[in-house]
């Protein structure tokens, strides 16, 4: 019986002990300081215009799409945010879903092309380089797999079945604008220097909330690859481009 009473007493006192300890070690950030919340995850939301052109005799196709992306850090947190040597990495999944502006192709009464379009991509970004209290410069690679369908035209895969694989080399520069150490403008450019499935792009990120980790971004990217058509026609090499704008939230590294 006395053991039961002792257990109940501990159960009652435990919450007050925990909360008193939390209050004792609570931390109030200084003005302009950024707390590291959700360090392992970054998110992106925006608008993307997809375009597929030069696909044999098909007219250029444009798609208005929603852009969703989630990034997960694997190695970045093993290094300090303010060291001179820094690592940026991101294991990510990205999805575009939208509707084609062009009129769908109708082959017969029961055979109408879909106007809905979709892109799914996953990959891993790895950058390493130098950073100080004013600027930074990093280099790295961006291996990724992508599946894209614009109407009934889809980009042909070269790996894992329907996925198109590329691994562009990239360079990333940053410049501190003020307020705190992570209020930095970032510019990233990449190119895989391939003659068969070229892939290149550029991305600009500008911070817009001094007390948080929010960036406005603009991104332009282009691929060139063969495409498949569901009705059996195989058009020649086509250009697939995306132009995206939106916002990103999360830590820089």
Handedness of CA 215, 218, 223, 228 (dihedral sign): positive
Handedness of CA 199, 202, 208, 211 (dihedral sign): positive
Q: What are the structural domains, with CATH classification, of the chain? A: 40-249 (2.40.128.100)
The DSSP secondary structure of 74-116, one letter per residue, reads SSGGGS-TTSSEEEEEEEEEEEEEEEESSPPPEEETTEE---E
Asked if 237 and 253 count as a contact pair (C-beta separation under 8 A), the reply is no
CA 15-17-23 angle, 5° bins: 100
* 38 conformational bin, left if phi > 0, alpha if psi -120 to 50, beta if neither: left
- Predicted local confidence at residue 190, as pLDDT: 98
When pLDDT is cut at 50, 70 and 90, the band that residue 44 belongs to is very high
When pLDDT is cut at 50, 70 and 90, the band that residue 203 belongs to is very high
When pLDDT is cut at 50, 70 and 90, the band that residue 64 belongs to is very high
Least confident among 35-39, 40-44, 57-61: 35-39
Q: Are strands 85-100 and 227-229 parallel, antiparallel or unpaired?
A: unpaired
Q: Largest Cα–Cα distance of the chain, in whole Å?
A: 88
Structure tokens at 21: 């300890």
Asked if 163 and 157 count as a contact pair (C-beta separation under 8 A), the reply is yes
118-177 confidence digits (pLDDT tens): 999 999 999 999 988 889 999 999 999 999 988 888 888 887 778 999 999 999 999 998
């Amino acid at each position: 019986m006395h053991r039961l009473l002792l257990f109940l007493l501990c159960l009652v006192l435990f919450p007050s002990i925990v909360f008193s300890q939390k209050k004792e070690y609570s931390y109030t950030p200084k003005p302009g300081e950024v707390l590291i919340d959700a360090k392992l995850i970054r998110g992106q939301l925006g608008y993307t215009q997809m375009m597929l052109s030069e696909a044999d005799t098909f007219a250029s196709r444009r798609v208005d799409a929603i852009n969703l992306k989630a990034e997960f850090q694997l190695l970045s947190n093993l290094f300090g945010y303010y060291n001179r040597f820094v690592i940026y990495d991101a294991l990510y999944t990205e999805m575009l879903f939208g509707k084609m502006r062009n009129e769908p192709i109708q082959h017969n009464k029961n055979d109408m092309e879909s106007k809905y379009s979709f892109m799914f991509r996953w990959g891993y970004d790895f950058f390493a380089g130098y950073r100080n209290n004013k600027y930074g410069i990093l280099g790295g690679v961006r291996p990724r797999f992508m599946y894209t369908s614009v109407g009934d035209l889809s980009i042909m895969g070269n790996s894992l079945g329907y996925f198109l694989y590329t691994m562009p080399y990239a360079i990333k520069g940053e410049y501190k604008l003020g307020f705190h150490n992570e209020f930095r403008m970032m510019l990233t450019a990449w190119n895989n220097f391939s003659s068969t499935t070229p892939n290149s792009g550029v991305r600009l990120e500008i911070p817009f909330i001094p007390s948080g980790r929010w960036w406005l971004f603009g991104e332009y990217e282009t691929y060139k690859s063969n495409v498949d058509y569901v009705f059996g026609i195989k058009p020649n090499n086509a250009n697939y481009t995306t132009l995206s704008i939106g916002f990103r939230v999360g830590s820089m590294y």
